[in-house]
Structure 1
Amino acid sequence: MIGISSCLGGLCCRYDGQSKTIPELSVLVEEGEALLVCPEVLGGLPIPREPAEIIGGDGYDVWQGNAKVMTITGEDVTEAFKRGAVIAYEELKNLNISCIVMKENSPSCGSRAIYDGSFSGNKKSGVGVATAYFCQQGIDIVSETNWKTVLKENRQHGGN
């Protein structure tokens, strides 16, 4: 069993109330081979919600207290993002899930890139808050852009 960002599995839980469904991942959920998690919703944020970006670094910097997650109108939602990451991790851990496919560019789930904190659409290298926490806990992170290759390799080498 693997984990999947809920929006990739078909749930309309993004900040804009939409999903970014990848049909093949939805099938894994339907077949009971995947668990959907949305750290932002698990942290108590509504659907829809204001866009948020990490200001002052990336997800690792948030956990170190050197960066914050702020909405476009200036509300600090850092604690909700952190709380959601911890709750999502506990759900993954309870099912012995050690690999999760994450939504790229998200302030929670980005695994290679996130928005730069200027709310201008510009991206920078870095990871989201949940991704940083999952990595620190030993969860393997897979981007939505290369999930097929990584999961195929994982299965060939006896991974779950």
Structure 2
Amino acid sequence: MIAYEVIYVILISACLLGLNCRYNGGNNLDKELMKYLKDKEYVIACPEQLGGLPTPRNPSEIVFGDGKEVLDGKSRVKDNKGQDVTMSFIKGARETLKIAKLYNVKTAILKEKSPSCGNVAIYDGSFCGKLKEGSGITAELLKQNGILVFNENNYKENI
């Protein structure tokens, strides 16, 4: 009988590894995270780009509730010009989930505060820099599918 080693891959927000995919065209390079991942298997994704949004793009926030309410059809995502971008965010979350399933992802490290990736706090929809408790759309969809979601501030003590 042949023994196979099961490899668990970590999903990482692309911006945390220096890819310029943030709304403003920049990134959130986290050198400590890069060191942590040195001997680990991982795959990267930017849900907003996977949803078809351009880079750069107008900043977006969930206007009521969090990612769960958006996925349940009870809330929307709007950019700072008032354009509804909900469907792009949902598409990006679904595409990210497809990648996670393809790579047997059990854990994700995503960018906190993002309307896609935040897992503890997200912006409140007022575009005033205020935070509220809750998950972004991708973080919520991953959680609903049994994937543990952490952010760049809390992965070290949990993984």
Establish whether TM, by shorter chain, passes 0.5: yes
How much has 1:127 moved relative to structure 2?
0.6
**Residue segments in structure 1 that go unaligned for 5+ positions in a row:** 152-160
Percent identity over the alignment is 44
Q: How far 1:135 moved relative to its partner?
A: 0.8
- Given candidates 140, 143, 156, the residue that maps to 1:135 is 143
Deviation at 1:31, TM superposition (A): 5.7
Contact 1:29 1:35 in 2 (8 A): no
Task: Choose the corresponding residue for 1:108, options 112, 116, 122.
Answer: 116
Partner of 2:29: 21
Indicate whether 1:65 and 2:87 are aligned. Answer: no
Amino acid in structure 1 at the alignment position of 2:57: R
Question: Alpha carbon RMSD of aligned pairs, Å?
Answer: 1.4
Once residues 128 and 155 of structure 2 are traced to their aligned partners in structure 1, the CA distance between those partners, rounded to angstroms, is 28
Amino acid at match of 2:154: N
Choose 28-37 or 108-117, whichever is displaced more.
Answer: 28-37
Q: Deviations over 1:74-124 (max 9, x none)?
A: 110000000000101111110101100011000000100000000000111
Find 2:88's aligned residue among 70, 80, 92: 80
CA contact (8 A) 2:33 2:152 kept: no
Per the normalisation by structure 1, the TM-score is: 0.90
**Structure 1 residue 41 corresponds to structure 2 residue 49:** yes
Alignment check: 8 A CA contact 1:10 1:26 kept: no
Rg bigger for which structure?
2
Partner residue of 2:19 out of 8, 11, 24: 11
Per-residue CA deviation, residues 11-31 of structure 1 (Å, 9 max, x unaligned), is 110001111111133356676
- 5+ residue gaps, structure 2: 1-8
Q: Residue 120 and residue 9 in structure 1: after superposition, are their counterparts in 2 closer, same or farther (change >3 A)?
A: same
2:58 maps to 50
